[in-house]
Amino acid sequence: MTCKVLTVVGARPQFIKAAAVSREMLRHPGQIEEVMVHTGQHHDENMSQVFFDELDIPAPRYNLEVCGGTHGAMTGRMLEGIERILLDEQPDWVLVYGDTNSTLAGALAAAKLHIPVAHVEAGLRSFNRRMPEEINRIVADQVSTLLLCPTALAVDNLASEGRRKGVSNVGDVMYDVALYCADRTRSKSRILEQLGLQAGQFALATCHRAENTDDPRRLSEIMAALGDIAQQMPVVLPLHPRTRKSLHDHGLVACLRRLRVTDPLPFLDMMALEQAANVILTDSGGVQKEACFYGVPCVTLRNETEWVETVELGFNQLAGARREAIVAAVNNRSMPRQRPLVYGDGQAASRIVSSLRSAAS
């Protein structure tokens, strides 16, 4: 009997994670069938289509083209569209990733139709409920049947909330992708040459979280810090559409003058920059981990992180959004000599697919 899985994705990190799991599903023809739904949350080609092309992800069967608007409006439109698809497709499982509005909409739509939900990256907690991502991941976990955790700490977080049934530590699927793409990145990306950069002699920065982009004070402090760091080494900033708009809205565009600003980059180019950077500054959870995978010091532009292992093991510093603290963290950066395998062994996708097949049988 074939297990039918409806996968909901909508944002860059989800495309990347889905790549590994989708490849694994294709290794079991006749046993598991995937129907992929793209909500449209990230609709820009450099934030969306390029990932399907570079990572060999099957084209989505559905694209809801839901982008922009408030959290409530966006989630509501996604919820309506996903519900309609679920009624048509009647899957055995709905698979959601991470902590975006797409995650929340997919999980809620399935739960209300009594279709079991499997949540990849279950159990992560920043313990900051002002973050919309924190609300999304908590709610998704509450309605999920399979809680597929990336780390032992995520398992512990769920246990402290009374969730033990259906919980397993499968490892981090992002590590699977990092291993898969390492050689491909080196052979295909020419981004360093295009930007005139030397490996180990530049900083890479990303900033897109609402807590930073929607607060002009925090955004101003972060941009000022990047300008200070640019006096020591080139700072490359692939600029998220939300951040670009906020810089214009708050009159902060002049802050970009010292930086090497690019449009959002294809995945392989971004991986190449991460591997070659001297230091990475980011508010992205995924980029924090990727820095750890590649052994590059990371400075997180937030006051907390759901990936606490990166901090506890010395790979990452929390600097918040204060100019002085960010610059000091860069100047005081260091890395442990060895990277323990807290995120698994690169076989997370295989365990995720095995969990779905076993639960459906």
Tell me if 3-172+344-360 shares its fold with 189-331. Answer: yes
At residue 42 the predicted structure's pLDDT band, cuts being 50, 70 and 90, is: low
Enter the CATH code of domain 3-172+344-360.
Answer: 3.40.50.2000
At residue 44 the predicted structure's pLDDT band, cuts being 50, 70 and 90, is: low
Reduce the DSSP state of residue 94 to 3 states and report it.
strand
**Lowest model confidence (mean pLDDT) among 72-76, 79-83, 182-186:** 182-186
At residue 13 the predicted structure's pLDDT band, cuts being 50, 70 and 90, is: confident
Distance CA 86, CA 82 (A): 6
Distance CA 158, CA 122 (A): 8
Q: Is the Cβ–Cβ distance between 15 and 56 less than 8 Å?
A: no
| Residue 175 scores a pLDDT above 50 | yes
Tokens of 135: 């609300």
Tokens of 28: 């079991």
Backbone angles phi, psi at 234, to 5 degrees: -60, 140
Query: Domain locations in the chain?
Result: 3-172+344-360, 189-331
Distance CA 217, CA 214 (A): 9
| Model pLDDT for residues 183-241, shown as the tens digit of each residue | 778 778 999 999 999 999 999 999 999 999 999 999 999 999 999 999 999 999 999 98
| Residue 340 scores a pLDDT above 90 | no
Distance CA 290, CA 173 (A): 11
Q: Is the Cβ–Cβ distance between 34 and 352 less than 8 Å?
A: no
| Model confidence, pTM | 0.86
| Model pLDDT for residues 270-327, shown as the tens digit of each residue | 999 999 999 999 999 889 999 999 889 999 999 999 999 999 889 999 999 999 999 9
Enter the CATH code of domain 189-331.
Answer: 3.40.50.2000
**Residues designated catalytic:** 208
Q: Is the Cβ–Cβ distance between 247 and 224 less than 8 Å?
A: no
